[in-house]
Every structure is written in structure tokens, then in C-alpha cells.
Chains A and B, each alone.
Chain A
Amino acid sequence: MPDWNKEIRSRLAHLRLEPAREAEIVEELSQHLEDLYEEKLIEGSSEEEALQAALGELSGERQLANELRVTESQVIREPVVLGAGRVNMIADLWQDLLYGFRVLLRQPVTSIIAVLTLALGIGANTAIFSVINGLLLRPLPYPKSEQVMKISQVDSKGQKMNFSDANFDDISAGATSFEAMAQYSPRTFSLSGGSEPVRAPGATVTSGFFKTLGVAPIMGRAIQPEEDRAGSAPVIVVSYNFWQRYLGGASDLSAKTLTFYDQPHQVIGVMPQGFSFPAGVEFWISRSLSPKLPSRTAHNWQVIGRLKDGASLEQARLEATTVARLMKREQGDKSWMEDVAIVPLQEEMTARVRPALMILMGAVVFLLLIACANVVNLLLAQAAARQKEVSVRLALGATRGRMIRQFLTESLLLVFLGAGLGLLLAWWGIDTLLAFEPGNLPRTGDVGLDYRVMLFAGLISLLTASLLGFITAWRSTSQNLNETLKATSRSQLGGSTGRGTRNLLVIAQFAMTLILLTGAGLMARSLISLLSVDPGFRTEKSVVMYLSHTFPDNEAARVRLVNFHEQLRERLRAIPGVEDVGGVNSFPLSGAQNNGTFLIMQPNENITALSDFERLSRDPQRTGHADYRIADEGYFKTMGIPLLRGRLFNSTDGPDTQHVAVISESLAAKRWPGEDPLGKLIQFGNMDGNLKLFTIVGIVGDVREYGLDAEPRPTFYGYFKQRPFSSYSVVLHGSADETAVIPAARNALRQLDANLPPRFRTVNEVVSASIADRRFNLLLLGAFAGTALLLAVIGIYGVTSYSVTLRTQEIGVRMALGALPGNIFRMIMLEGLVLASLGVVIGLIGAFVLTRLIVSMLFGVPPHDPLTFALVASLLVAIALTACYFPARRATKVDPLIALRYE
């Protein structure tokens, strides 16, 4: 009997029908031929004739195939072999996705770990990038904000400084590239006249200020040029929030005045919501109370300018430099301005935080790479388990490209899930980040998830997915088909090359982790050495109360101010547990401070006008430079600043006796080396306009006023009773707890003047806030390094553990041949040690190169600090060995008999 099935099958082969369907059709048709054949035989035909008749039925085979192709086309399904050459991309993709989901669900723990790991990496990157985006990339919220420049004077040492009035006038007259230029000077004011007295940051500005920023009031008007003149009616523009909070959002401003410096200021305008420049400022006042000073060295003003449309930055710089050079030639020593620096405002505002942000971004990129390495390791382990599946599919005709696509889809799925979770993490992380942020980041309001951040997250996710997919796919499809198919034991799967890749990944992880840990370690050591720095004053059980008064511009006001503080001190000293009370015009570590040039005078010599001051100051022999403070008799004792020589201020010093001064150790050493400064006469009238001479009566210890990491500056202290000052901070010290002292002190002040709003801080808080930046950076970098360490530990544990599983049989053989558990243990541990050590060595080299980038963030520790390097390296190796301990122990428990039968 002829084989009808074969005849029919051969004619249908090229249709590639679904196998089950094909079998049905073949069966039905061959029955037909069979029936026909038998009938012919019964009718008396020869076998040959019957055969021909039957085959004749198939004669229209083209027709058969064509007809079947049409009728069966709707049901053509994926051939059994997933991944055989096909053309339907969309269907493939869908299928890949479904299949990918199934693969992920098959090993839920692995998948969850992978997704979480990726979420961590992507989330951290997105969070840090969103900060960078908000601060560095998003333009400032002003029209054509790229045209707004910060302008500074530059002295002979290349230092940037504020402008003096006269220098500003010359530059603004000479710089034609600028459409507008303005001076401003921020400080804290005590205002009354609103719903309650308030101490708030404000700025004195010139009329060009709002024009330069390109922002107009939403209500009322801006400050006019004629209001720049001294003596004009003082006016104030307020922020939207201030208007709402203290002026009740009044629509009629004409009746609103705010009083400070004892002067009512007419409210003339309200700025749009969100407008606050310089950062945090709530109102802007005209400079009618700040007359122009002729001095070219009274560096009181910050300056911004707006470039004309089409004017280039280079052009503006060239022009300003030319003007500055000409002026310098004209003015000589009267002016310190050698050059002018013009920097885009955005750059200037973020210059301080840029390096730290870049370091953090680098850190999170490392973190993501480490996370990727872990996920690749997981996927490779999984791929090894799927080796058979892959080989079968390749053998059945799946193309390698198609298989790679399958793996890519799978990793895309993983990364997609990870990225979703990562975005949530970033969203939450940004809030946490900003909550922890010590308030030193500019523009935090602009930080958030916007389209740029989304784009970034999408991009890194895509990169991550491609990286993961390609490595896994490449590794798992490049195996020798025959070898894999023949392999019956798991010990031969995953192959030695697969293990090579995984080992390399672990080494890379350790290297990167070491770099991160070294960075964090160096910053931690910086913080420790910073905390051990003696600030020069006492920090325990001390509270500072910040006050600002009306500037005492006449004798009566001066007397009033001095008396007020006399009474305040009395009341504060009466608080139980308060032993010492003292005051100073500017508390250490609290921001902007005064400094200037003084003259050393001969006995019986003095000047009568500030112009003489300038003339005499040209002789470097008789000038000195120092920070200028005003303190009272209690200050040094309260702060624990030691008296080294001479005496402090006391009751014999009054407004009418010789004005006395105390200087710091470093000023004595710097200005009078090998000389006795006691008794020297000093002219420092340029600071407050009072030309009475000071006599130096004492030398006190140095104080780190500008930060624990900044060297103490030479400091000059005048006596409050003789030279009263409007800003004044009062320090309290005693046995009482700070929390008890603050309400009592607030109460004491209120009884004396209910309209004077104070601000309290413990001295510890002040010190702590001064290093908050560093602590914040350390916290972040430490968190990233810690996470990296965790991932690296998981990585090496995974690899070692997996390798033990793969080598169970080998270990069994070794033990059967007489290896002791100790030998096996050492073998596995050694393997881990080699990986970790290689990583550590490479990491050390990397750290050696990269820690140079964070020099500016270090203090008291060199970037190549051997102790930190050694500690971090040994920590890493120790942790790696701990991670390998468990798999190694497991290896020693292998039973040779069971192992040999293993699979």
C-alpha cells in the first residue's frame, strides 16, 4: 500500500501549517485517496492504475496549496519553535512581552530583587539629577534670564569683591553692552507697621533692579530713578507673600507704610508670587537712607546687569575690563578695582554647590553601574538555568538575533518596572533630600520632576536595559549548541566563560564600591577633624539672641541704644541659671561680617575728615586690615575667649573717655610682629563715621568667625558703650539648660521692647549649622556608598554561592579523593578573596585618581590619606570574606556520595 501521508505531507510542507491542523488534513486526505485506491482495485484496476488514479486526485496540487493557504491563513499560529524566522514584528514583540512576564513570574524572588536593585539605581540617579536640573539646568525664572549677569570688582589678587558706589558709577557709565545695571545690598531688618513686628530679610536696591531682572510689580509701581537720591521719600516694594501675610493682601497700598530705621517707608508695589531675589528676600527698599559714599574702598554693593539684546558676554567683559584698567590708572591706590568679573547670574548663584552636585552625580552613576552588575549577575544565573531552553530553540531554528531580542525585551521589562518604582523612589527621595538639606541650596523651589527629569530617567532606563539585555543575550546565546545539548549535568552548564563574565562584574563592583567608600571615608574624616577644631569660643550651654535696631545716627539715639542694652543685660542676668551675658555686633559663624582698612596713628595726631583717611591710607606703613567688631565687657567672658595680655573693656571706659579696643592674637602677630601692640593708636572711623581714635588695651584669643574650616582672621574689637552698633547679638551662658533660657530671655526682651523681634539659636546650633553642608554631602555620599556596599556584598555572595552549586560534583570528587573539608573551605574562600582583592586593587587605583576631585570638600585630611584607603580596603575585603563564608561552609557539607549522583 502506498504511503499517502508522505505524498500529501510533501505537497503541504511549504505551507507551514500549524502541526496539529496539518496532521488532521493529511489524515483526511489520505483516507480519501485510500478509499479511491481500494475502490479502483475492486473495480478491477491494476495496482499501478489505481495508484495513478489516486495520485491524479492531487494533480491540482498548486490549487490545493493555494486554496488551503487562503482558508487556513486565519489560523496560522506561531510554530512551536519560538523565535524561528518570522516577519510580524508587533506580534513578536507582544509575544516576547508575554513570554518575558512569564519568565519573570517563574522566579519571583529573583525578579523582585532585580527590580528593587534597578529601582534603587535609577531612583538615586533621578533624584540627584532633578536637583542638578532644578539648580543648574533650568533657567532662572526671569525673562531672557541668560542675559542677566552678576558683576563684581576684582582686586590685584584676582579676588572678587562687592562694588563701591564710585566704582559702580564709573563702570555703569562705561559699559554700553548693558541695558540696565543695579546695586543691591541684602540684610535683615526689623520692621513694624504690618500686622505684627517682624525681623525679615530685605534688600536695599537701586531703581534699575527690577528692570535688570525683567520683572515688574503686579500691583503698584517699582522704585523710580529719582528715588535713588539720598533724602528722597523712602519707599518699599514687598513680595507677594509679605503682602499677604503682613499687609492682609490690601488692594489699596496708599495707606500702607512700614517703619524701620525709625523712618516710615511708603509701600508702593507688590512683586509677583515666587519672586525673591536675592534668595529669601521679602522686600526691597529704595536707598534714600543710604547716601552715596565717595570712598572707592567701601565695598558695600552687589551688582547685577542685563546685557542688551545681541550683546555678547565676551564683548561686555572686554569693555568692562577696559574701563576698569583706565580707572585704575586714574585712581591709583584709591581704588582696589583692577578688573571686573562678569558671570551669568545662574552660574554665580550655583557656583558654590556645583562641585558637590557633580560629585554626587558621579556617585549615583557608579551606584547604577553596580546595581546593573548585580542584575546582570542575576540574569546570567537565570540564563544559565535556561541554557537548555535557549539551545533547544536555537536548534529548532530560532535565529540568534531573535533570541537576543527576546532577552532584550525581558530586560526592558525588568528595567521598565524598576524605572517606575525608581521614579516613585525619586519623587519621595527629592522631598526627603530637601527636608534634610540645611537650607544652603539655592533655588530648591525649582527642584522637582519635570519633563527633563523624566527624559533623563527614560534615557538611563533605556541605556540600562540595553546594557543588561545585550550582555545577558550575548553570553547565553554564544554557547556551543551541541555541547550544551549534550550536557546532562548542571555542572557543565553556565560554562567557564559565563563564570568569567560574572567574576569580572564582581571585580568591577568592588572597584566602584571602594571608590565610593573612599570618598565617603575621606569626607567623614574631614567632618571629624572639623568637629575637633577649637572654634576659639565656648559652645556648651550658650544661647545667642540676634537683634537689630534702628541705626543710631545721632547722639540721643546712641545713648538710648546703650541704655537699652544695659537694661537688657541686667534682666537677662537675672534669669536663674544664667551667669554671664555679653554682646557683639556680629556673631561668629553667622554670615556676613564687616572688615576694612585701619590707620595706625601717632600720639597727638588725628584726622578731621574721611578724605584725610584716604590720603593717609596710601602709605602701607601705617595701614592694616582687620575684621571689625563691636563688643561689650561681658562678651569675652561669656564666650570663653581668653584674655592673653592687657585688659578687657571695663566700667572706667565711658562714651567720653579715650575709646578703647581689644585685638585678636592673630592681628597682633600679623601687624605688629615682635612689637607690643598695647597702647597703639588706631583710626578705624571708616567703619562707622566716628573719627575718635582707639587705643589698643588688650589682646584676646583667636576666633574662627568664618567657619571651622577657615583660618581665624585678624580681628579688631571696639567697645559697644563707645561705638554703639545697630545689629547686636546677645550671648547668654550659665548652668541652665538652653531650652529653659530661651523663653525666659524672650520674655525679658518683651518687657523691655515689645516691638523688637528676636531670633534665638543655641551656640551649638550655630556651629552645627556652619558645617551642615558638609554633613549633608557626607550623608548623601555615605548613603550611596553604603548602598553600593550592600549591592557588592549581594553580588559576591551570589557569585560564590552559585559557583559552589555548580561545582558540587567537583567538590564531591575532591572529597571522595581525600580532600578535607578545610581544604574545600579554603578553596572557596580563596576564590572570593581573589575576586575581592582584584576589585580592591583596581578600586584603589581609581580612588587615587578620583579623590583629587573632592579636595575642595575635604578638611584636615589629604585626598590620598593612607589611613582612609587602608581602612576602606580592609573593610571591603573583610566584608567580602564574610559574604563568602556561608557558601564556603555549605561546600564543606557536601556529601561525596550524594554529590556524585547529583543530576
Chain B
Amino acid sequence: MPMAYIESIFDRELKKGSAELLILSLVEHRPRHGYEISKLIEERSEGVLRFNVASLYPLLYRLERRGWVDGRWVEKAGQRRRRYYRLTTEGKKVLAAQRHTWREFVIAIERVTGLEHA
């Protein structure tokens, strides 16, 4: 099996597994709109992680449907209205749980692979 292919799968699955955590974290303290969320992920990961429209929005809608985030149209003077996503109470619990799981997962990976923070 070519290496590139394995990498691409690995990459995709990793992204998938972490995507919810990333979005929930970003709207934890203040509501943000979709473009802002995608920008922040790209910037803070220094370009390693990137979601395009086709993958970001369905994810947002799914989180919204589950009641973890709450999307709302907000109008500001002189601007077009935008949809802002806010973390719900339910979402906060999920975020805490996911953070915990992810931390344990990372630690477990480190122990197994011998990877250490530099």
C-alpha cells in the first residue's frame, strides 16, 4: 500500500475525530460565525488543519441539530446579517468530556509511541 494513501486516510480520520472538539472549543467563550471559525482553525493550527465550506458547515449543522451549539442570525448596523454559533449548556458538558477523552488519548499515544513534547 503506497505510503501517501495511508497518510491521507490517517489524516482524514484524525481530522474527523478532532473536528468536533476544535469547533466546540472555538465557540466556548464567545459566539463566532462560520468563516471566523474556519479562519481561526487554519491560523491557530498554522495551516496544518483546514476545513473548507463543504466539510465545515455540515459539521456545524450536525452539532446544532444535536443541541451542542446554537446558531443565530445577528444583524449589525451597516453589515449583512451573519449566523453566529454559541456553545449551549449541553455543548459545554460535551466539550469537557471530549477534552478529557482527547487528553487521555494523547497521553496514551505518547506513552505507547514514546513521543514527548520537545
Contact = CB atoms under 8 A, between A and B. Distances in A.
Contacts of B33: 31
B65 A64 contact: no
Given A33-B53, A71-B65, A28 B83 contact: yes
Interface in A25-43: 25, 28-29, 31-33, 35-36
Contacts of B53: 29, 32-33, 57-58, 64
A67 B59 contact: yes
The residue in B55, B57, B58 that gathers the most chain A C-beta atoms within 10 A of its C-beta is: B58
Given A28-B83, A31-B82, A32-B35, A60 B59 contact: no
Nearest to A72: B61
Contacts of A32: 34-35, 38, 53, 57
A24 B61 CA distance: 12
B54 interface: yes
Interface string A44-87: 00000000000011111101100110111010000000000000
Listed residue (A25, A28, A33) with the most chain B CB atoms within 10 angstroms of its CB? A28
Contacts of B59: 67
A715 B14 CA distance: 117
Nearest to A8: B53
B34 A68 contact: no
A176 B57 CA distance: 93
Contacts of A63: 54-55, 58
Interface string B39-77: 000000000000011110111011001000000000000
Contacts of A57: 52-54
B57 A60 contact: no
B80 interface: yes
Contacts of A56: 52
Contacts of A36: 35
A778 B35 CA distance: 87
A809 to B, nearest CB: 50
Main SS of the interface on chain B? helix
A25 B57 contact: yes
A67 B54 contact: yes
Contacts of B38: 32
Q: A-side binding surface: helix, strand, loop or mixed? A: helix
Contacts of A74: 65
Contacts of A24: 83
Interface in A703-727: none
Contact of B52 (A25, A28, A59, A72): A59
Interface in A1-42: 24-25, 28-29, 31-33, 35-36
Of B38, B54, B61, B82, the most chain A CB neighbours within 10 A belong to B54
A64 B58 contact: yes
A28 B34 contact: yes
B84 to A, nearest CB: 11
A60 B59 CA distance: 14
Contacts of A64: 53-55, 57-58
A31 B35 contact: yes
Given A56-B52, A57-B52, A60-B52, A68 B80 contact: no
A74 B65 CA distance: 9
Contacts of B83: 24, 28, 31
A186 B95 CA distance: 96
Nearest to B64: A71
A30 to B, nearest CB: 10
Contacts of B65: 71, 74
Contacts of A60: 52, 54-55
A21 to B, nearest CB: 10
Contacts of A68: 57-58, 61
A61 B80 CA distance: 25
B54 A58 contact: yes
Contacts of A61: 54
Nearest to B56: A32
B60 to A, nearest CB: 9
A28 B57 contact: yes
Q: Of B34, B53, B55, B80, which is in contact with the most chain A CB atoms at under 10 Å from its CB? A: B53
Contacts of B34: 28, 31-32
A67 B35 contact: no
Nearest to B34: A32
B36 to A, nearest CB: 9
Nearest to A66: B58
B52 A35 contact: no
Contacts of A29: 53, 57
Nearest to A62: B54
Interface string B99-110: 000000000000
Nearest to B38: A32
A63 B82 CA distance: 24
A61 B53 CA distance: 9
Contacts of A28: 34, 57, 83
A56 B38 CA distance: 14
B58 A71 contact: yes
Contacts of B80: 31
A64 B61 CA distance: 11
Interface string A242-263: 0000000000000000000000
B59 to A, nearest CB: 7
Contact of B62 (A33, A35, A71): A71
B62 to A, nearest CB: 5
A56 B59 CA distance: 18
Nearest to B61: A71
A28 B33 CA distance: 9
A60 B50 CA distance: 13
Contacts of B61: 25, 68, 71-72
10 contacts: A28-B83, A29-B53, A29-B57, A32-B34, A36-B35, A59-B52, A64-B58, A68-B57, A71-B62, A71-B65
Given A28-B57, A31-B80, A71-B58, 15 more contacts: A25-B57, A31-B82, A57-B52, A57-B54, A58-B52, A59-B52, A60-B52, A60-B54, A63-B54, A63-B58, A64-B53, A64-B55, A64-B58, A67-B55, A67-B59
Interface of A: 24-25, 28-29, 31-33, 35-36, 56-61, 63-64, 67-68, 70-72, 74
Interface of B: 33-35, 38, 52-55, 57-59, 61-62, 65, 80, 82-83
Sorted from nearest, which 3 A-B pairs have the closest CB atoms? A67-B58, A60-B54, A64-B54
